[in-house]
Structure 1
Amino acid sequence: MSSQHAPLPVALVSLGVVLLLSTPANAIGGGGTYGKAKGTQLSASARQSRIKVTRVSGPTGGEQGTVSSTDVNWKPPPCWYEPVFSPAQLKDFAENNGDGDVGLRDGWYGSKLWTDHFRDEKDASSIFTTPATVKGYKNYNLGKDGYFWRGVAPDAGSLDDTSLCSRLMFWVDAGKIPDVPNAPTPKTLAEYAYNKIKVPSTSIEVKPTAKSTVNLPSWVWLDKGTFKEVKVRAELPDTGLWAETTAKPVALHLDPGTPDAETYPSSGNCTINEDGSIGTPYEKGDGDRTPPCGITYLRASNGTPYHLKASITWQITWKGSDGSGGDLPDGIFDTTQDMNVQEIQSVNR
């Protein structure tokens, strides 16, 4: 019985050559990092992507966080294929370690399985993939220009997700993207970068800041330049693929934290101006005016503050290395601050 078709007998376990089946690779792969070649760290885990995300523009200081998609049904792609090893890197990995994921749902442990298939031309089999049997390679394809590719799923949440990219590691000539389902595209990189965008927290100015008064409008604003677009670039090494994903703040939504309140505008949506400002700062004598962005509380908080939630909507767009581009679902980032509301008989403005 071939060790590539079923677990080895117990008597052979001491040789360190074991193939585990019917379990996703992430559950049996070590997830560690093994081997080095030409200064590049190589991953043995199919849960680790090589995509590099860097910030191109946007605020870098202060409290930041990631946005949540306004489309609850939208998710980044669960998996895709990436180049993992050059021939020399695979030779080093196979002969000096050999513990890791040869596919998203196949983990090979011990050097023999790797050397049998990638050095000695022996066919390999998997119950998870199509084709189920893969022709072996001669001497790791040394002398050829290209990479061995494997599926990755850094955020996959189910076995169904990993089955989409479960082919055993395969060869692709340099400068080419494999013609297979779930091959990476610029849009793949843009969607991957969606959850890597860091936007500034929503800290709004309210007048008065500590206490509001029943039936007296509270003005809400943000000074100009507070919110600027954030752009990140995602690149997949050794493919020439990249995408830039941009988040632009477009609106502030106010949720007063109680039904006993009125918002301005009535929708609670305050537009973000081109200069990054929101609303108008409160000035002495504005107490009788209706603010362009604000809240009037209709009942005192009576010792338990209302939780004013301020949510910024970020418009997400992208462009890619092949000239493609488009929109992704808007993102939301919100913060909450306490509002103590008092009731007094008269107000001097």
Structure 2
Amino acid sequence: MPAMTSTRPAPRRFTAALAVAAVLWSGSTAYAAGPEDNTTVPSADQPSGGTDGKGTLSASVSHIQLTYVSGDDGGDNQGNLGAVDPNWKPPACWYEPVFTPAELKRFVDTDGGGDVGIHESWWGKGLWTDHYRDGKPADNFDLHSASNSSAEGYKKYNLGKHGYFWRGVAPDDNDPNSWDCGRIMFWVTAGRIPDDPNTPTPKTLAEYAYNKIKVPKTEVELKPETKSTVNLPTWVWLDRGTFKDVKVRASLPKTGLWAETTAKPVALHLEPGTDDATTYPGSGNCRINDDGSIGTPYTAGDADKTPPCGLTYLRASNGAPYHLRVSVTWQITWKGSDGTEGDLPDGTFVSTQDMNVQEIQSINR
């Protein structure tokens, strides 16, 4: 009985002229997912991938390990950063070690179904044994090249040799750039890394960690607390220690590669939610003080003073509150296992608070 086929949906931008690669060996089927017009939907009982206890192989699952070194309290009152630069994206794909020879043999013997590349799945033990045990060549699926390159086969899974089989990983295989990692799983001797443009580096890990940073949600202290008054300043502040550096360490097992990505809060920005308002400072950018506090807490007698961080509403909200947007900018830096270091685009996290603004009522006699 022939093995079942599997595919991943491809980005719509590829046309039918970019053909699908299919290889038929020993009654088994390899399917490389090409353009959407050429895809085949797997049956309902077809394994769907994912690295589970049975060893099923998924190219969307990375082995990168994350450690939250500081700043993450593990609570729910936090969220992920958004990059200030809208054009910045983390790496779309990279290669990483997956199996030793013995682990690959065990996988083939006990499972034998999964992703041999980001856009290529092999369902059926025969495909794996033909290429990794019996030395038969197989095609890589290099969608960006003029023709698919050929991968030489292996004898007996390279048992007795020291090293790892590497395979491409793409967190989002619908990203068109994930096609850049078109090689099927390949061998690398222990202590070495692949000679490939998509070999992971400490910067790759730093950028991966960027997307995993969690920062505290921003809910500032206000005075008045519940209702502001037209033409009277509202003071805004955050106590010392509310914000502190967040550091995430990403390491790739079996390579010695790691990077630490640090997010440091550097500014808070106020947007009143209406044009009928004045911010302090005028830019709406409140500086974070050296002790980690923002602004100055309101004290009795400050009502007629101008706050270092705050705002004045010039018109009542009339039953529909204004939405005060508070965004904190985080400066992102990283350092890696090979001594490299650098900056990544600033990140931001935005919170919204309702502001009810009233008129002062007076009676003329």
TM-score of the two chains, using structure 1 as the length reference:
0.90
What's the counterpart of residue 143 of structure 1?
160
What's the counterpart of residue 261 of structure 1?
277
What's the counterpart of residue 7 of structure 2?
none
**RMSD between superposed Cα atoms in Å:** 2.2
**Residues 1:340 and 2:356 are matched in the alignment:** yes
> Using the alignment, how far apart are the partners of 1:66 and 1:127 within structure 2?
34
> Using the alignment, how far apart are the partners of 2:236 and 2:162 within structure 1?
60
What's the counterpart of residue 114 of structure 2?
100
Tell me the secondary structure at the aligned position of residue 266 of structure 2: strand
> Using the alignment, how far apart are the partners of 2:142 and 2:82 within structure 1?
33
Q: Deviations over 1:43-72 (max 9, x none)?
A: 501111110111001140450000100000
Say whether the 8 Å CA contact 1:30–1:44 is kept in structure 2: no
Select 1:31's aligned residue among 42, 49, 52.
Answer: 49
Shift of 1:30: 2.2
**Residues 1:233 and 2:244 are matched in the alignment:** no
What's the counterpart of residue 39 of structure 1?
none
Say whether the 8 Å CA contact 1:67–1:333 is kept in structure 2: yes
Q: Which amino acid aligns with 1:273?
A: N
Q: Which amino acid aligns with 1:340?
A: N
> Using the alignment, how far apart are the partners of 1:281 and 1:257 within structure 2?
22
Shift of 1:21: 3.1
What's the counterpart of residue 32 of structure 2?
21
> Using the alignment, how far apart are the partners of 1:127 and 1:81 within structure 2?
15
What's the counterpart of residue 86 of structure 1?
100
Shift of 1:328: 0.3
What's the counterpart of residue 329 of structure 1?
345
What's the counterpart of residue 151 of structure 2?
134
Moved more, 172-181 or 240-249: 172-181
Q: Which amino acid aligns with 1:30?
A: S
> Using the alignment, how far apart are the partners of 1:32 and 1:269 within structure 2?
45
What's the counterpart of residue 164 of structure 1?
180
What's the counterpart of residue 47 of structure 1?
60
The number of residues matched between the two structures is 332
Select 2:71's aligned residue among 42, 58, 72.
Answer: 58
> Using the alignment, how far apart are the partners of 1:234 and 1:83 within structure 2?
15
> Using the alignment, how far apart are the partners of 2:321 and 2:52 within structure 1?
53
Q: Which amino acid aligns with 1:52?
A: Q
Tell me the secondary structure at the aligned position of residue 116 of structure 1: helix
**Residues 1:220 and 2:236 are matched in the alignment:** yes
Say whether the 8 Å CA contact 2:265–2:328 is kept in structure 1: yes
What's the counterpart of residue 319 of structure 2?
303
Select 1:76's aligned residue among 66, 90, 98.
Answer: 90
Shift of 1:8: 4.7
Say whether the 8 Å CA contact 2:101–2:157 is kept in structure 1: yes
**Structure 1 residues 183 and 43: CA distance shift in structure 2, 3 A:** farther
What does 1:188-199 correspond to in 2, within 5 Å? 188-199=204-215
Unaligned runs of 5+ in 1: 37-41
> Using the alignment, how far apart are the partners of 1:177 and 1:43 within structure 2?
24
What does 1:237-256 correspond to in 2, within 5 Å? 237-256=253-272
**Residues 1:278 and 2:289 are matched in the alignment:** no
Tell me the secondary structure at the aligned position of residue 93 of structure 1: helix
Q: Deviations over 1:262-296 (max 9, x none)?
A: 00000000011121100000011101100000000
Shift of 1:157: 3.3
Tell me the secondary structure at the aligned position of residue 288 of structure 1: coil
Say whether the 8 Å CA contact 1:35–1:93 is kept in structure 2: no
Shift of 1:344: 0.6
> Using the alignment, how far apart are the partners of 1:84 and 1:240 within structure 2?
14
**Structure 1 residues 169 and 279: CA distance shift in structure 2, 3 A:** same
TM-score of the two chains, using structure 2 as the length reference:
0.86
What's the counterpart of residue 117 of structure 1?
131
Say whether the 8 Å CA contact 1:309–1:337 is kept in structure 2: yes
Moved more, 182-191 or 149-158: 149-158
What does 1:169-180 correspond to in 2, within 5 Å? 169-180=185-196
Shift of 1:31: 2.2
> Using the alignment, how far apart are the partners of 2:243 and 2:69 within structure 1?
16
> Using the alignment, how far apart are the partners of 2:67 and 2:271 within structure 1?
33
**Structure 1 residues 22 and 43: CA distance shift in structure 2, 3 A:** closer
Say whether the 8 Å CA contact 1:121–1:135 is kept in structure 2: yes
